């Protein structure tokens, strides 16, 4: 049971760390899970797409991309005026975030 909980906690941190960087306003591209063709500016590495030196932040596309994001295959790519975004879960966004399609955008 301890081994299960230790693995479960590590997995939780792996999910929370990228979300925390978004909450801090970071727009640094990170590797994303490969869904078909990698987004523009990314290259394939196993089952992931790795950002290149000129890559923009990519999010898995869920419905409509948020404001200031464009579509690149199965991804939404941040434009020059993009704000940090999270996939919206449920009907409302967390405080300090506003709804944009199927996403929540960080308010400025």
User: Based on the structure, what is the number of domains in the chain?
Assistant: 1
| The pLDDT of residue 48 is above 90 | yes
pLDDT at residue 13, as a whole number: 32
3-state secondary structure of 60: strand
| The pLDDT of residue 25 is above 60 | no
Query: At a CB cut-off of 8 Å and minimum separation 6, what does 71 contact?
Result: 61, 65, 77
What average pLDDT does the structure give for the chain? 82
pLDDT at residue 26, as a whole number: 65
Query: At a CB cut-off of 8 Å and minimum separation 6, what does 12 contact?
Result: none
What is the domain range of residue 25? Answer: 2-106
pLDDT at residue 36, as a whole number: 95
Percent of all residues in the chain with a pLDDT value above 70, rounded to a whole number: 76
End-to-end CA distance of the chain: 43
| The pLDDT of residue 5 is above 60 | no
Compute CA 51 distance to the chain's CA centroid, rounded to the nearest angstrom.
13
3-state secondary structure of 8: helix
Report the pLDDT averaged over residues 8-35.
59
Report the pLDDT averaged over residues 35-39.
96
3-state secondary structure of 3: helix
């Amino acid at each position: 049971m301890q081994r299960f909980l230790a693995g479960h906690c590590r997995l939780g941190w792996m999910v929370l760390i990228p979300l925390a960087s978004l909450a801090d306003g970071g727009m640094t591209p990170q590797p994303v899970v490969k869904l078909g063709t990698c987004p523009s500016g990314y290259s394939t590495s196993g089952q992931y797409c790795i950002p290149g030196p000129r890559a923009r932040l990519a999010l898995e596309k869920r419905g409509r991309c948020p404001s200031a994001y464009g579509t690149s295959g199965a991804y939404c790519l941040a434009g020059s005026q993009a704000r940090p975004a999270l996939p919206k879960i449920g009907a409302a966004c967390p405080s300090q975030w506003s709804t944009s399609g199927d996403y929540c955008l960080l308010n400025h």
